[in-house]
Amino acid sequence: TRGPSPGPPPPPRPPLGMRGSSAAQLPACQLPYASQPLPSQPSQPSQAPASSRGVGSEHAEEASSDLARHESELSRMEAEQQALEEQELLGLSMMYSLAEQQQGQQQQQQQQQ
């Protein structure tokens, strides 16, 4: 229900069917991918070694390395998932802007004729 907007068209949105799946899980501030850098993974600060936490026993060291390995695996999976969703959205928005450009060119050509 948008009125006719003067100037350039608003950025393309994913279709309604998509919005329920992966697009809805992304915070709104991350949607314009082209203009914003990626946020760094939030799970990195928690990977400090156990010795810096004041725990000196070998068992705690082992546990912390297991934990760190698990966390890094998790964050890697999150990063991959995020990258996939980004590529999806990026591909979608590129398809939309391409389609809009082509429509605009066709209209211009028709006007010239």
Residue ranges covered by each domain of the chain: 42-112
For residue 14, the tally of other CB atoms under 10 A from its CB is 17
Q: Which residues contact 63 (CB under 8 A, 6 or more apart)?
A: 50
Cα dihedral 8, 102, 31, 20 sign: positive
Instruction: Answer whether residue 7 shows pLDDT above 50.
Output: yes
**8 Å CB contact between 50 and 61:** yes
Q: Would you state the structure tokens that stand for residue 64, as one six-digit string? A: 């912390």
What pTM was computed for the model? 0.27
Report pLDDT digits (tens) over 56-92. 556 666 777 888 888 889 899 999 998 888 888 888 8
Output 69 or 30, whichever has higher pLDDT.
Answer: 69
Instruction: Answer whether residue 45 shows pLDDT above 90.
Output: no
CA distances from 103 to 10, 44, 79, 107, 109 (A): 15, 45, 35, 6, 10
Q: Would you state the structure tokens that stand for residue 112, as one six-digit string? A: 């010239």
